[in-house]
Amino acid sequence: MPTVRDKDPDVDETYAIDWTQQLIMEALRSFDLAEGVTVRAQRDTGWYYECTTAGRTSAHYPQWPRASGETVQDGSAVLTCRHPDDAEVPTVSSVTWTVDSGITKDSQSESGRLAIITVSGGTDGVDYDVLCRMTPTVGNVMEQTITIPVRAQ
């Protein structure tokens, strides 16, 4: 459970969870990929790759394309190059935040692959667990809890 920066009990504070690593997995070798799964290259190319034909990846990495819509055969799987802003790349569809008693959720939002919450209050010296339940545009609901330490500044 990650602990985030301290929050002063008298100051509203905004926190965010970046879901990129959970939404876009690294392209593993000799791995079964389902159609619709989005992966990233082992070395950052600036692009993502959507599995458009399900199959098993090769033991060796392919030559990753770097133009939107180009495809590459990876074992028996076919991957299509996607710009990070393409609609096919998974993002956060919605989030639900649950906060411990004693701290107040003032607002929540989502932007791309970020889930954002603003909280207020809290008691000096108390750590509060805040659960984020995220629904992606593709895939299953995911959860992550952050711990917010409240400390008077």
- pTM recorded for the entire structure: 0.83
Separation CA 117–CA 104 (nearest Å): 10
Residue ranges per domain, the chain? 13-19+91-149, 25-82
Q: What is residue 54's predicted lDDT score, i.e. its pLDDT?
A: 97
Tens place of pLDDT for every residue, the chain, 153 residues? 777 889 999 999 999 999 999 999 999 999 999 999 999 999 999 999 999 999 999 999 999 999 999 999 999 999 999 999 888 899 999 999 999 999 999 999 999 999 999 999 999 999 999 999 999 998 899 999 999 999 998
**How many residues can be counted in the chain?**
153
Q: Give me the architecture of the 13-19+91-149 domain, per CATH.
A: Sandwich (2.60)
